[in-house]
């Protein structure tokens, strides 16, 4: 199984959609709420250069925003 991390906020619609997608497809993931955790927010900024969420990392691939087709491709889901 691939390592999946999502940097999100509690008020982000696309973050909720991504997490719902992971749950529906039984994909384990680590969630970091960057609205509450300044250390993880700085980590996300350093990795992505972005303030927007979600930032999804699947193994070593970074996806900015929730692009379902790209997430499926990265996870090898048909």
| % the chain with pLDDT above 90 | 95
Which pTM was predicted? 0.94
Residues of the chain with pLDDT under 50: none
Q: Which domains does the chain have, with CATH numbers?
A: 4-75 (3.40.30.10)
Cα–Cα separations (whole angstroms), residue 72 to 24, 54, 55, 58, 78: 12, 16, 15, 10, 7
Predicted confidence at residue 25, as pLDDT, reads 96
């Amino acid at each position: 199984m691939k390592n999946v991390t999502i940097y999100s906020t509690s008020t982000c619609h696309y973050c909720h959609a991504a997490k719902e997608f992971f749950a529906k497809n039984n994909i384990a993931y680590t969630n970091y709420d960057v609205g509450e955790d300044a250390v993880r927010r700085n980590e996300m900024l350093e990795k992505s250069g972005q303030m927007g969420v979600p930032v999804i990392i699947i193994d070593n691939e970074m996806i900015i925003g929730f692009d379902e087709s790209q997430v499926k491709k990265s996870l090898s889901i048909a």
